[in-house]
């Protein structure tokens, strides 16, 4: 795949990645300072405030990283023909969904796994994705507490690097049979339909980790093999999925609806509803087939 399909023609990929590295590790410094009760850098307020928003707790850390990322993207690139969609900006009164119509769009989650972050867990992440015509092309998942920056470029591959620039290749597991696969699942979101589906699929065991980015990183390390998201009363949003989606596909894995349909981004409600399955790809079609058999028999009204 040529570079001009993953970045705009007048944006240099290497320069873009260098800037994203700087922004990512700056975000790590901010989040880790808040996590430890220390004075955050770059002039952000020290107090960690918590308020319940429509989709969960929002902290000063979320807002600080949101400001850092957006200002960094705006200040360091002359190319202006892209939108910037962030979880935090969609909650602002001045936000207008109809303004987000450009071909290129940044999709950001300044702090994925806020509950884990507030509980003192290391399983929180920063998601940065660049999408073109509603499809993610570049995905970065930063896991500060593990000193990991996962980078995926569709058509070019994926890798993990630390703050010093040392790179590691992706290491998918060799597990193939569904009965051997390890599921990575949420600690905070469980519902009866999902539990029944998982009982039918009968994976060998389950690891519980917060943050979609951290779950996908677990698959990329070979610690687990598959992640399943099932929407209930609420559904995940673009910013939860875009960066992990680009990352795992760039690595050679798969991320789709249970019926094999692609995830589509920048819809009017930015919702990623249905049954979404991410995996190392080797058993993906079999997982989807077995899941669809479950829905056909047990939950025929569920829109996968």
Closest CA to 243 of 211, 207, 209: 211
The response to whether 55 counts as a known ligand-binding position is: no
The response to whether 240 counts as a known ligand-binding position is: yes
Which residues on neighbouring strands pair with residue 237, listed in sequence order?
Answer: 271
Q: State the Cα–Cα distance between residues 193 and 110, nearest whole angstrom.
A: 30
For residue 168, what is the enclosing H or E element?
Answer: strand 167-169
The response to whether 122 counts as a known ligand-binding position is: no
Asked if residues 294 and 284 have their Cβ atoms less than 8 Å apart, the reply is no
Asked if residues 292 and 231 have their Cβ atoms less than 8 Å apart, the reply is no
Q: State the Cα–Cα distance between residues 130 and 236, nearest whole angstrom.
A: 18
Kindly state the tokens that stand for 248: 């795992």
Q: State the Cα–Cα distance between residues 238 and 244, nearest whole angstrom.
A: 10
Q: Which residues contact 290 (CB under 8 A, 6 or more apart)?
A: 178, 200, 201
Residues 204-230 as b/e (b if ≥16 CB within 10 A, e otherwise) read: eeeeebbbbbbbbbbbbbeebbbbbbb
The response to whether 111 counts as a known ligand-binding position is: yes
Q: Which residues contact 155 (CB under 8 A, 6 or more apart)?
A: 1, 2, 5, 6, 250
Q: State the Cα–Cα distance between residues 59 and 103, nearest whole angstrom.
A: 31
233 class by beta-carbon count within 10 Å (0-12 exposed, 13-18 middle, 19+ buried): exposed
Asked if residues 278 and 214 have their Cβ atoms less than 8 Å apart, the reply is no
Q: State the Cα–Cα distance between residues 70 and 297, nearest whole angstrom.
A: 46
Which residues define the annotated binding site? 87, 109, 111-112, 240
Binding site as annotated, residues for Mg(2+): 87, 109, 111-112, 240
């Amino acid at each position: 795949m040529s570079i001009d399909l993953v970045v705009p023609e007048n944006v240099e990929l290497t320069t873009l990645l260098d800037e994203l590295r700087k922004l990512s590790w700056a975000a790590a410094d901010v989040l880790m300072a808040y996590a430890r009760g220390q004075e955050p850098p770059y002039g952000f307020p020290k107090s960690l405030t918590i308020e319940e928003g429509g989709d969960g707790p929002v902290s000063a850390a979320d807002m600080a990283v949101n400001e850092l990322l957006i200002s960094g993207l705006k200040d360091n690139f002359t190319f202006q023909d892209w939108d910037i969609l962030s979880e935090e900006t969609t909650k602002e009164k001045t936000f207008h969904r109809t303004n987000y119509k450009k071909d290129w769009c940044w999709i950001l989650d300044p702090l994925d796994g806020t509950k884990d972050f507030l509980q003192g867990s290391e399983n929180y992440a920063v998601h940065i994705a660049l999408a073109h015509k509603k499809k993610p092309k570049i995905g970065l998942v930063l896991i500060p507490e593990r000193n990991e920056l996962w980078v995926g470029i569709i058509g070019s591959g994926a890798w993990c690097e630390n703050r010093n620039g040392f790179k590691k290749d992706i290491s998918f597991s060799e597990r193939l049979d569904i009965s051997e696969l390890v599921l990575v699942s949420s600690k905070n979101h469980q519902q009866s339909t999902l539990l029944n589906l998982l009982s039918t699929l009968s994976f060998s065991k389950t690891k519980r980790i917060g943050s979609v980015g951290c779950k996908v990183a677990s698959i990329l390390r070979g610690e687990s093999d598959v992640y399943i998201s099932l929407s209930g009363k609420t559904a995940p949003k673009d910013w939860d999925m875009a960066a992990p989606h680009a990352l795992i596909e760039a690595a050679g894995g798969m991320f789709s609806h249970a019926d094999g349909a692609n995830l589509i981004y920048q819809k009017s409600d930015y919702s990623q509803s249905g049954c979404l399955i991410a995996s190392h790809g080797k058993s993906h079609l079999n997982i989807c087939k077995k899941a669809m058999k479950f829905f056909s028999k047990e939950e025929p009204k569920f829109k996968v």
